[in-house]
């Protein structure tokens, strides 16, 4: 599975090129329909393999209750490094590697 190329951003982490994309629609929690969060998808730019799916703790712009906190490239770079340390192999085909942002770190889901 790969992410669509349209709307992606490029980033280089440890000399490796990646593309990343913010999901367009908020993913709503079952408890409260108005509190969606930003989700990010990442894959290697030259050798697509496993997709990294990041569930952030940052409110989506469609969330009209909370102030929006943007996802910055430095956040994505940090999450990519942490995911690789947690076992994500971006050049190896396989199921999406899903992680949840917990404060400054990520946890495998």
3, part of any domain: no
The range of the structural domain enclosing residue 36 comes to 9-108
36, part of any domain: yes
Work out how many domains the chain is built from and give that number. Answer: 1
Global confidence as pTM? 0.84
67, part of any domain: yes
18, part of any domain: yes
92, part of any domain: yes
16, part of any domain: yes
pLDDT by residue for the chain (109 residues), tens digit each?
678 888 899 999 999 999 999 876 544 443 344 457 889 999 999 998 999 999 998 876 665 666 767 889 999 999 999 999 999 999 999 999 999 998 888 999 8
Cα–Cα dist 12/16, whole Å: 5
Contacts of 99 (CB under 8 A, 6+ apart): 52, 53, 54, 55, 79, 82, 83, 86, 88, 106, 107, 108, 109
Structure tokens at 84: 């690789």
4, part of any domain: no
């Amino acid at each position: 599975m790969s992410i669509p190329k349209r709307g992606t951003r490029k980033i280089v982490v440890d000399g490796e090129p990646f593309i990343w994309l913010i999901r367009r629609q908020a993913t709503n929690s079952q408890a409260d329909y108005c509190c969606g969060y930003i989700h990010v998808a990442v894959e290697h730019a030259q050798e697509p393999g496993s997709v990294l799916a990041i569930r952030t703790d940052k409110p989506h712009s469609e969330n009209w209750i909370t102030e929006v906190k943007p996802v910055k490239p430095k956040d994505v770079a940090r999450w990519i490094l942490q995911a690789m340390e947690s076992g994500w192999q971006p050049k190896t085909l396989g199921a999406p590697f899903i992680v949840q942002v917990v404060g400054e770190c990520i946890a495998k889901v």
